[in-house]
Amino acid sequence: MAERTVKFGGRQLAVRGPKLEVGQKAPEFKLVGDDLKEVSLKDTTGKVRILATVPSLDTGLCDRETRRFNEEATRLPGVEVLVASMDLPFAQKRWCGAAGIERVRTLSDHRAATLEAWGVLLPDVRLLARVVFVLDPGDVVRYVEYLPDAGQEPDYGAALAAARKLL
C-alpha cells in the first residue's frame, strides 16, 4: 500500500494509520477532555456524532471550522460535535472560553495515543490531519472526508447532511 500524505504548510507529510471507510466500525479512542478526564469512544456511543480532527485550534482555519460546527450544532439537536486536536486540554479550554464555544466538545490527543487508528496522525509535525467523520449511534462510520490539504476547509454541507440523515 502506498504511503498516504497530506499537504501541510507547502510540503507533503506522511499520514500514519489506516484510512477509515464508510460502513466500517469506528476504532476505539481514548482522548482527554478539558477537565483532564479521559473520554473514550464508548463514552459517546448511543448518539449521532460529528468528529472533526484539526491540526490546532490556535490557527485561523481550525478556529473557523470549529466555530462553524459550533454554530451548526445549534440546529442539530441530538448530534454531539467533537473536535479533536493535539492541543493541550488547558489550551483547548482557554480557546473555547475566548471563542464562546459552548456546543462543541474539544478533546485532546496530546499523548498521540489513539487517533493513529483513525488515520489522522501526522507524526513529522506531531499534529492531526484535517478530517471529518460522522458516526451513527452504534459507532459505524457513515461519512468521512479526509482533506488532502490541511489548508482546505471541509465540506460542511455534506457532513451536516450525513448527520441529519441519521437523526
Name the residues annotated as catalytic: 62
The CA distance from 40 to 29, in Å, is: 5
The CA distance from 125 to 145, in Å, is: 21
Give, as one character, the DSSP assignment of residue 70: H
Half-sphere exposure of residue 34: CA atoms within 13 angstroms, side-chain side: 17
The CA distance from 138 to 150, in Å, is: 29
